Structure 1
Amino acid sequence: MQSVKNSVSEQEWQMRVDLAACYRAIALYGWDDLIFTHISARVPGPEHHFLINPYGMMFDEVTASSLVKVDLNGDKVMDSDYDINPAGFTIHSAVHEARDDAKCVIHLHTVDGVAVSVQDDGLQPYSQQSLFPLASLSYHDYEGVALNPEEKARLVSDLGDTQFMILRNHGLLTCAESVADAFLFMFILQRACEIQLKAQASGQSLTKIDARIVAGIRAQAAEVTRQAGGSLAWPGIRRRLDRQLPGYDK
């Protein structure tokens, strides 16, 4: 395993450690779906190369060395004992190719995320947590299992310049300049979905946040999401992993 660290740049190794930590953090919070979702990150440098999980490995098993480096077609560009799920990289490659700022893309099938994705009105402004996603949120209609390359253009068009996406009948997606920000965006989106479902399950009448506040947040979308604080929360998340799921940095 040490040979991987010795054969890549310091910047790539740091990205590998952060991405492996992200996989472990997703597992720690119980948001993984066995082996069937993915987190990808662009390798620092001029090449359009990306890191993604080995197909068949559980999220709490992923390490910096086991991540597979691929190009936009999902073809391996570095020797690895592991393969990837080409279908799983379809969504990720589309976002990476279209958005230079999407250095990390997280796509999950959480129960709460899928439950909100099937609601006609989608995410509602029921909580302060919902305001961050609502500041930069898009939707993409379900077209079946993501195997059709032609869907990539429609997904990218729907995503636009947003950083949060709800894939109808499917799940959640976030993208950001760093692994830390993409993870925090997913944490907030997931939490907003959890709160919405709990509130709806209460059977009580629900109060939405004033539309003027929501409109103001949307008008300041870039500033709101830029100040979300991924880099502030990430070291603490790493320390928690070091205590509870160590070994991701191997």
Structure 2
Amino acid sequence: MNAPVADLIDEVALRIDLAAAFRLTARFGWHESVGNHFSAALSRDGRRFLMNRKWRPFATIRASDLQVLDTDDADVMNRPDAPDASAWCIHGAAHARVPAARVILHCHPIAITTLSALADPRLLPVDQNTARFFGRHAVDYECGGIADNDAEGLRIAGYLATAPTLISANHGVTCIADTVAEAFENLYFVEKAAETLLRAYATGKPLAVMSDVIAEHTAQGWDAYRGMAFEHFAHLKSLLDDEDPGYRD
């Protein structure tokens, strides 16, 4: 008899990769005290997933620390080990409704969060990194404060169903992908893109925004470089293995 499809997911490897993403995010200074959350689907339908426990510092998270949650667990928020309310709002709703959201990284890096505070928080295509997201990011202009209610979660999930990168006005960014490496690469480049755009704005000079045709051509050009994510993430993990190997525990 064949094993269930869900059993084919390597939970140990997934835990290690997600733990590495937490440690690296702390190193890059993208985390928010003991807030923000990353998650990764354990089941093929995405409804069972791993996520960091409530209020754990990113710099100390280990593979074994990650909590298993189920979107069908109606009592999840009533348990002693209940996740953070905003984490459940965003990740629970997205894993329940967006099968493509295998991995969800939500945090508040300074550049992309600063961009989210502008009246126009779009990533305008002014260089290759910003053009990477042309037609491939969404902007949620409706800020509901702390994302901790069902309506907020449903709205965020709706945007994530349309684009793998979501800029939430006055809030931060959410990146989704099939793998931790690819989601982390999106996070890495969206922060770089935001920093470039903000520096361009800071000059006070007119922006040289690419035409839609060139921007789309550039975005499509990035498709051939998808393998970069795995090589980059493997390199970053090797640095952790040398200097901070506890993430694997």
Same fold (TM over 0.5): yes
Q: Do structure 1's residue 191 and structure 2's residue 192 form an aligned pair?
A: yes
- Return the offset for 1:34: 0.8
Read off the aligned partner of 1:164 and give its amino acid letter. Answer: T
1:9–1:82 Cα change, 3 Å: farther
SS at 1:248's partner residue? helix
The alpha-carbon deviation at position 112 of structure 1 amounts to 1.1
User: Structure 1 counterpart of 2:223, which letter?
Assistant: V
Task: Tell me how far apart the structure 2 counterparts of residues 225 and 103 of structure 1 sit (CA, whole Å).
Answer: 21
CA distance in 1: counterparts of 2:74 and 2:28, whole angstroms? 30
SS in 2 for 1:139: strand
Find the counterpart in structure 2 of residue 3 from structure 1: none
* Distance change >3 Å, CA 249–CA 74, structure 1 → 2: farther
Residues 135 and 217 in structure 1, CA contact (< 8 A), matched pair in contact too = no
Q: Who is 1:142 aligned against? A: 143
Instruction: Say if 1:75 and 1:144 are closer, same or farther in 2 by CA, change over 3 A.
Output: same
SS at match of 1:172: strand
CA separation in 2, counterparts of 1:240 and 1:11? 23
Please tell me whether the aligned partners of residues 46 and 99 of structure 2 are also in contact (alpha carbons under 8 angstroms): no
Equivalent position of 1:125 in the other structure:
125
Q: Deviations over 1:38-78 (max 9, x none)?
A: 0011114567211111212100100001111111157799x
Task: Summarize the Cα distance change of 1:241–1:50 in structure 2 as closer, same or farther, 3 Å threshold.
Answer: same
Identity percentage over the alignment? 26
CA-CA distance at 1:147 after TM superposition: 1.5
Deviation of residue 199 (structure 1)? 1.8
So what's the TM-score if we normalise by structure 1?
Answer: 0.85
Gaps of 5+ in 1: 1-7
Q: Give the aligned partner of residue 5 of structure 1.
A: none
Q: Secondary structure at the match of 2:90?
A: helix
Q: Does 2:99 align with 1:100?
A: yes
Q: Which moved more, 1:232-241 or 1:170-179?
A: 232-241
Q: Distance between the aligned counterparts of 2:103 and 2:135, measured in 1? A: 19
Whole-Å Cα distance in 2 between the matches of residues 159 and 226 of structure 1?
Answer: 22
Q: For the aligned residues, what is the CA RMSD? A: 2.7
Gaps of at least 5 residues in structure 2 are 1-6
Query: Is it true that 1:67 corresponds to 2:66 in the alignment?
Result: yes
Structure 1 contact 74–86 (Cα < 8 Å) conserved: no
> Residue type matched to 2:179 in 1?
S
The change in CA–CA distance for 1:206 and 1:143 in structure 2 (over 3 A counts) is: same
- The runs of at least 4 consecutive aligned structure 1 residues that moved more than 3 Å come to 44-47, 73-77, 80-83, 215-218
